[in-house]
Amino acid sequence: MTSTALENQLIVGAILFALGMIGFLTRRNLILIMLSAELMLHGVSVNLTAFGRYHGNPQGQVFTIFVLTVAACEAGLALSLILTLYQRRKSLDVFLWGNLGEDDLRVLSGSSSSTQPTTKVVDPNADFPHLTPAGRAPKSPVTKT
Amino acid sequence: MNWSPENGMLLLPLALGWLAVWWLLPREKPRGRILGGLIGVAALLVLQATVLPPAGDLVHDVMFYAFAAAAILCGGLMITDKNPVYAALWFALTTLAVCGLFLLNSAPFLAAATIIVYAGAIVVTFLFVIMLAQQGGIGGYDREAFQPGMASLLSFALLATLLFSLQEWGGIDGKAADEARHGQFVSVPTTVQANLLSQAPESNPREIGSLRVLGRSLFTDYLYAVELAGTVLLVATIGAIAIAPRRSQGHL
């Protein structure tokens, strides 16, 4: 196993990671966002096995097995969450949940309005708690003179 | 970082790749996919010609390039496809290609486990949810990417820093620039040596991924981590059952 082969595998892992990051940032489908995260995990796994082969010990593969375990847990939890979210809004669009941020943040919306699904299904069960805006310093009781 | 002409050779495939991904990302106004695909293939070829020299072993090289090109192309098609069902299928192909790379890294057990877990479980359940949720066709939110220029530019900036730092480390051209630094980076640190039970030397590199070596390492050095992983699986199962919508609350 020469150094060149290790380099090539690291480059392939980096490219897979970058592609997954692009998908995670640009796609608006909840399921495709999760699949892009899995693509990033693939890039990391390629790196780990390449280093394990390079060093000649099984630690890289053992770590990849743990990555696989966490990926399985993540997929299960993500699917149940996505099903719950879909039941509330009847859509997989992530922008329909853009109002979950705090009041002073800009609400995410599409760049154009023509393809934007603006019809929100009003769910009678949706009684979200009102969050007080955080991150602001309270007024100081001591007034500066 | 000392700028050298070798650093400039990375910029061309990076720019071409960014152009291809930016062109292929779904827009409101459809574009020709052939042009973007050609630019992407050209980026891969330039990358192969400049920074990915063959290692010497012919069979290994051919298989590596085939699997790597398949993984990258299917990954690019996955994040740029408008139809989420096709995107999930492209992801399955990417998983198969990555499993081929695992096989080249002498990890046959890992390749089999990844195929079973990903292609057998994850992709199938994701496809199930997609088909359940999108019986009315592709939604409008799938036809248009969110800020494609900024996101792809940011990701390719990350990729450029990764590749440049790899090149700084000295290995991209196959010649380690500084042998001492090279050894310092990749040698096994002696202080992390595991307990005595796993000290049997794996002389044959083909035995790294065998079940015997892997199981011994897993159940001696990482026994605590294995127990923790089992606990995480149990908690995730309970959580998924608790979160998932009940039948009494309505159905999909």
Condensed to tens digits (0 to 9), the pLDDT of residues B4-40 reads: 666 677 888 888 888 888 888 888 777 778 888 888 8
B96 contacts: CB under 8 Å, gap ≥ 6: B70, B115, B119
Inter-chain residue contact B71 with A42, CB threshold 8 Å: yes
How far apart, in Å, are the Cα atoms of B241 and each of A21, A54, B113, B120, B247? 29, 41, 24, 20, 12
Distance CA B43, CA B13 (A): 5
CA distance between the termini of chain A = 72
Least confident of B18-32, B59-73, B181-195: B181-195
Helix axes A3-26, B148-169, angle to 10 degrees: 160
Q: Who's near B110: CB < 8 A, 6+ residues apart?
A: A49, A61, A64, A65, A68, B102, B209
For A99, B6, B60, B198, the CA distances from B95, given in Å and listed in that order, are 35, 33, 19, 31
- The pLDDT of residue A115 is 43
As a whole-number percent, the residues of chain B with pLDDT over 70 amount to 76
Asked if B174's CB is within 8 angstroms of A35's CB, the reply is no
- CA of A135: how far to CAs of A5, A101, A138, A140, B230, in Å? 48, 12, 9, 15, 38
Angle between helices A30-55 and B123-133 (to 10 degrees): 170
pLDDT at B69: 92
Topology (CATH level 3) of domain A3-91: Helix Hairpins (1.10.287)
SS (H, E, C) B29-51: CCCCHHHHHHHHHHHHHHHHHHH
Question: Token match 């990482």: residue?
Answer: B222
Angle at B61 between CA B188 and CA B92, to 5 degrees: 85
> In whole angstroms, what is the distance from residue B153 CA to residue B61 CA?
31
Across the interface, whether the CB atoms of A19 and B239 are under 8 A apart is answered no
**B202/A4: higher pLDDT:** A4
Nearest CA distance, A76 vs chain B (angstrom) = 6
In the DSSP assignment, the letter for residue A131 is P
Q: What average pLDDT does range B228-249 have in this prediction? A: 87
Supply the pLDDT for residue A57: 80
Classified by CATH at the fold level, domain B5-203 comes out as: Four Helix Bundle (Hemerythrin (Met), subunit A) (1.20.120)
Q: Decide if pLDDT at A2 tops 60.
A: no
- From A17-21, A93-97, A104-108, B175-179, the region with the lowest mean pLDDT: B175-179
Q: Where in chain B is the domain with CATH 1.20.120.1200?
A: 5-203
For chain B, give the mean pLDDT.
79
Report how far residue B166's alpha carbon sits from residue B158's, in angstroms, rounded to the nearest whole number: 12
Residue B187, pLDDT above cutoff 90: no
Chain A and chain B share a number of CB contacts under 8 A equal to: 288
The answer to whether residue A55 scores a pLDDT higher than 90 is no
Average pLDDT of B120-142?
81
CA distance A75 to chain B (A): 7
Higher confidence at residue A49 or residue B206? A49
Among partner residues B52, B142, B213, which is closest to A28 by beta-carbon distance?
A: B142
Confirm if B214 and B112 have CB atoms less than 8 A apart.
no
| Per-residue pLDDT at A26 exceeds 70 | yes
Instruction: Tell me the shortest Cα–Cα distance from B64 to chain A, in angstroms.
Output: 9
- This model of the complex carries an ipTM of 0.83
Average pLDDT over residues B43-53: 78
Mean pLDDT of B80-106: 91
Supply the pLDDT for residue A109.
63
Average pLDDT taken over every residue of chain A:
79
Q: Please, which residues 12-71 of chain A have a Cβ atom closer than 8 Å to chain B?
A: 12, 14-23, 25-29, 31-32, 34-36, 38-39, 42, 45-46, 49-50, 52-59, 61-62, 64-66, 68-71
Task: Outline where DSSP puts E strands in A38-116.
Answer: none
Give me A26's structure tokens.
Answer: 């640009």
Match 């609400």 to its residue by tokens.
Answer: A107
pLDDT of residue B180: 40
Q: Which residue has the higher pLDDT, B186 or B78?
A: B78
Q: How far is B207 from chain A (nearest CA, A)?
A: 9
For tokens 């380099």, the residue is: A7
Best to test chain A binding among B116, B127, B146 (most A CBs inside 10 Å): B146
At B190 the pLDDT is 46
Confidence of residue B199 (pLDDT cuts 50, 70, 90): very low
The answer, for A107 touching chain B at a CB cutoff of 8 Å, is no
Identify which of A11, A17, A80 has the shortest CB distance to residue B240. A80
How many angstroms separate the CA atoms of B34 and A13, rounded?
Answer: 26
Q: How high is the pLDDT of residue A129? A: 63
Q: Is the predicted pLDDT of residue B215 greater than 70, yes or no?
A: yes
Who's near A106: CB < 8 A, 6+ residues apart? none
The CA distance from A56 to B201, in Å, is 9
Contact assessment for residue A61 and residue B107, using Cβ atoms and an 8 Å cutoff:
yes
- Is the pLDDT at B224 greater than 50? The verdict is yes
Spatial distance between the Cα atoms of B169 and B182, rounded to a whole number of angstroms: 7
